[in-house]
Chains A and B, each alone.
Chain A
Amino acid sequence: MSRELWKGNEAIAEAAVRAGLQAYFGYPITPQTEALEYLSWRLPELGRAFLQAESELGAINMVYGAACAGARTMTTTSSPGTSLMMEGLSYIAGTEVPMVLVDVVRGGPGLGNIAPAQGDYNQIVHGGGHGDYHPIVLAPASIQETINTVYEIFDIVEKYRTIGIVMVDGSIGQMMEPVALPAMKEVRKVWPSWAASATEGKRERNVLTSIYLDPKQEEITNLRLMKTWQEIEKNEIRYKEYFMEDAKFAVVGFGSAGRVALSAVRAARAEGIPVGLFRPISVSPFPKKQIFDLAQRLEGFFVVEMNSGMMLDDVLLASQGRIPVEFYGRMGGVMPFPDEILREIRLLHADGWKNEGHPRDRWLAKLETIVKEE
């Protein structure tokens, strides 16, 4: 297949189109806006639904309506927009209808900035919306991987009737890379049997709701959601390992942080340091078992993120205290350089692992000096 140079946000949009996206609703927000702009001409050209909503609240609820109506549907946004969409995501999860959100994460909290960051990890992976639900969250690290993920995630969310989030950062959204686009899929012609698509006199009516006034009925719904989640945890774990066969310790990083870490790991390997990289792609469900298994044979984990250590907590939990864990992160839209990570890898290799206190506290003390010196 021939390779073309594509900008991340536009590649996300075209991958969704080729996956059979039928209805898109979005709102402009940097660094995601090119996806909205691209779909504003691309979907109408194919006779599919595009609408710029009045807000992210509007956009997510239009997606909610389209999902209930049986369409393959998606929205794209960036962190402050994701915060606004949390209400809708909780309702969609509670109603058990499938939809896809692409979150092109930027620096925060608050208005923050438009630079690449990973500070949405907690609000997406560990909730945000109210109630007991878990979204599928996939965090690709290149534009090609993002295309493949977007192309695939529609089938996954429809299989489980759940919400799927592709979490990338501003660098993936804004960068251009050579990619191969997948084949165009046929658009759905028959509506799902559960959809509110009007009975046309051919079936019993469908009612889709997230309200269960009787707590016992709500608990039965929660139980069903959790059983589905167990299935997802069993089937949908995705990760990539680099130099792990003979590694003595491992860097753990997702998305762009994982990608930057890979450059550092390669450089460290060239220096003879026995380090590998474990890059979770599904951060929800989190590869807990894989982390636990690695903790049986490694000397330690070195977690790298573009936030204050949000996935760090999941690594700590999954490794169950078997081995030391160290952390290095940059926040607020600052991306770490491979050299920074390489420096930390060298220190770990030379000085060994520390166990006193919390890895976040050790990192913060270090970061204060680094920020002052920069």
Chain B
Amino acid sequence: MTTMNVEDMQVIYQHPTSLLDIHTHYCPGCTHGVAHRLVAEVIDEMNLRDQCIGVASVGCSVFAYNYFDFDFIQSPHGRAPAMATGVKRVHPGKIVLTYQGDGDMISIGTGEITHAAARGENITVIFINNANYGMTGGQMAPTTLPGQKTTSSPKGRDVEQAGYPIRASEMLATLDGAGYIARRSLHDPKNIRLAKKAIRTAFEAQVRGLGFSMVELLSTCPTNWHLAPAAAGKWLEENMLPYFPLGDYKVHTALKDLKF
């Protein structure tokens, strides 16, 4: 057996400094924690923490500012892109991000997100799509799949009565102000790595002043889906991926050759 000197060891993985080292209030198996960590790792790697101002939304991530360790403000339901606009117009040199769920961003906040994207507001939006309203206990969201059972669509989403889900990335990518829009998933390690690259690209877009950037992250909600964490990942893969295809929906030409 060989022994190893501690001084010779290299730290290759540690808690991001942009994320406080405390337990979150998120449910077991929920991917909010993964998303938080990826955002924090990217901010650390780009050395942006001291320049960051975050905007929390209303939903399960309402307390995001308890975990991210930089300046943070908290928005009314759906209005985070408007608040972020106010911040960015006052501090154009700072890094401004919002962290929003699907009910917040693409239901009550559809107007704010659409116009922030249309203006090419130079902010980064982390958009968590878990196909339901998590915090209020699993109601139908604008992203709830046809036939999906929720507490407010107990027989499954009936598209004749409640209409169809919104594909926010595709919709916002039609706007000229968007510099980078991508959809990734957090259901397995490979996709988590790809998600981090997209988050990095989104912040690179903001640093370069390329306009509105957004990463949609397909996420699990084991509690409200009534599934164990592993089964929730499987459910996401089998049901959400076909309806919400992963991919890059808008990539500014200045981002195309980016390597990291």
Q: Which residues of A contact B (CB under 8 A)?
A: 22-23, 25, 49, 51, 53-55, 57-59, 61-71, 73, 87-88, 91, 95, 196-201, 205-211
**Complex: how many Å from CA A209 to CA B79?**
14
Q: Flag the segment in B85-93, B195-203, B230-238 that touches A.
A: B85-93
B114 neighbours in A (Cβ, 8 Å): 54
Chain B 80-104 interface mask (CB, 8 Å, partner A; 1/0): 0011111101110011000000000
Do the beta carbons of B65 and A69 come within 8 Å of each other? no
A68 near B73 with CB under 8 A, answer: yes
Are B86 and A57 closer than 8 Å at their CB atoms? no
Among B79, B86, B111: residue with most chain A CB under 10 A:
B86
Shortest Cβ-Cβ A-B pairs, 8 listed: A65-B86, A65-B83, A61-B82, A66-B86, A54-B115, A209-B74, A62-B86, A61-B79
Whether A23 and B82, one on each chain, are in contact in the complex, defined by CB atoms closer than 8 angstroms, is no
A23 to B82, CA, bound (A): 13
A96 to B85, CA, bound (A): 19
The reply to whether A207 and B115 form a contact with Cβ atoms under 8 Å apart is no
Residues of chain B contacted by A57 (CB below 8 angstroms): 79, 82, 111-112
Residues of B within 8 A of A55 (CB): 111
Counting residue pairs across A and B whose Cβ atoms lie within 8 Å, the total is: 133
Closest to A206 in B: B71
* Chain A residues, CB < 8 A from B65: 207, 209
Across the interface, name the chain A residue whose C-beta is closest to B86.
A65
Q: Select from chain A the residue with minimum beta-carbon distance to B70.
A: A205
Q: Is A54 a contact partner of B111 (Cβ separation < 8 A)?
A: yes
Q: List 12 A-B contacts (CB under 8 A).
A: A59-B82, A61-B79, A61-B86, A64-B86, A69-B86, A73-B86, A87-B76, A196-B72, A197-B91, A198-B50, A205-B69, A209-B72
Nearest residue, chain A, Cβ from B85: A62
C-alpha gap A68/B94 in the complex (Å): 14
B85 partner residues in chain A, CB cutoff 8 A: 25, 51, 58, 62, 65
- Point out the residue from A22, A196, A201 that lies within 8 Å of B53, measured CB to CB: A196
Residues of B within 8 A of A91 (CB): 75-76
The secondary structure that dominates the A interface is mixed
**Residue from B51, B53, B56, B75 in contact with A61 in the complex, judged by beta carbons closer than 8 Å:** B75
Q: Is the CB of A58 within 8 A of B112?
A: yes
Contact at A23–B111, with CB atoms within 8 Å?
no
A73 and B84 CA atoms in complex are apart in Å by 14
B111 proximity list for chain A (CB < 8 A): 54-55, 57-58
A200 touches B82 (CB 8 A): no
Known: A53-B82, A65-B82. 12 other contacts (CB 8 A): A51-B119, A62-B82, A62-B85, A69-B53, A71-B86, A196-B73, A196-B87, A197-B53, A199-B71, A200-B50, A206-B71, A211-B62
Nearest opposing residue in chain A for B56, CB measure: A209
A145 to chain B, nearest CB (A): 29
Q: Is B227 an interface residue (CB 8 A)?
A: no
CB distance from B176 to the nearest CB of A (A): 16
A211 to chain B: which residues have CB within 8 Å?
Answer: 62-63, 74
Residues of B within 8 A of A199 (CB): 49-50, 70-71
Residues of B within 8 A of A (CB): 49-53, 55-56, 62-63, 65, 69-76, 79, 82-87, 89-91, 94-95, 111-112, 114-115, 119
Closest Cβ neighbor of A25 among chain B residues: B86
Instruction: Please measure, in the bound complex, the distance between the C-alpha atom of A87 and the C-alpha atom of B78, giving whole angstroms.
Output: 12
> Known: A69-B53, A197-B91, A200-B50. Is A207-B71 also a contact (CB below 8 A)?
yes
Q: What CA separation (Å) do A61 and B79 show in the bound complex?
A: 6
B124 to chain A, nearest CB (A): 14
* A58-B87 contact, Cβ under 8 Å, with A197-B94, A198-B53, A207-B72: no
A67, A68, A88, A197 — most chain B CB neighbours (10 Å): A68
Give every chain A residue within 8 A of B76 (Cβ-Cβ). Answer: 61, 64, 87-88, 91
Quick one: closest B residue to A199, CB to CB?
A: B50
Closest residue on chain A to residue B83 by CB atoms: A65
Min C-beta distance of A97 to chain B, whole Å: 9
Q: A209, B73: Cβ atoms under 8 Å?
A: yes
Cα–Cα distance between A65 and B86 once the two chains are bound (Å): 5
- With CB as the reference atom, state the residue of chain B lying closest to A201: B50
Residue of A nearest to B80 (CB): A61
Distance in angstroms from B50 CB to nearest chain A CB is 4
Q: Could you say which of B79, B83, B111 has the most chain A C-beta atoms within 10 Å of its C-beta?
A: B83
B73–A207 CB distance below 8 A = yes
Whether B86 pairs with A63 at a CB distance below 8 angstroms is: yes
- Taking CB atoms, residues of chain A closer than 8 Å to B84 are 65
Distance A58 CA – B89 CA, assembled complex (angstroms): 14
A51 lies within 8 A of B89 (CB): yes
Would A197 and B83 count as touching, CB distance under 8 A? Answer: no
CB-nearest residue of chain A relative to B20? A205
Alpha-carbon distance between A67 and B114 when the two chains are bound, in angstroms: 23
Residue among B90, B114, B115, B119 with max Cβ neighbours from chain A (10 Å)? B90
A67 to B55, CA, bound (A): 13
Q: From residue B219, how far is it (CB to closest CB) to chain A in Å?
A: 22
Q: Considering only CB atoms, which chain B residue lies closest to A54 in the complex?
A: B115
CB atoms of A200 and B51 under 8 A apart: yes
A197 to B55 CA separation, bound complex (whole angstroms): 12
Nearest B residue to A59, CB-CB: B82
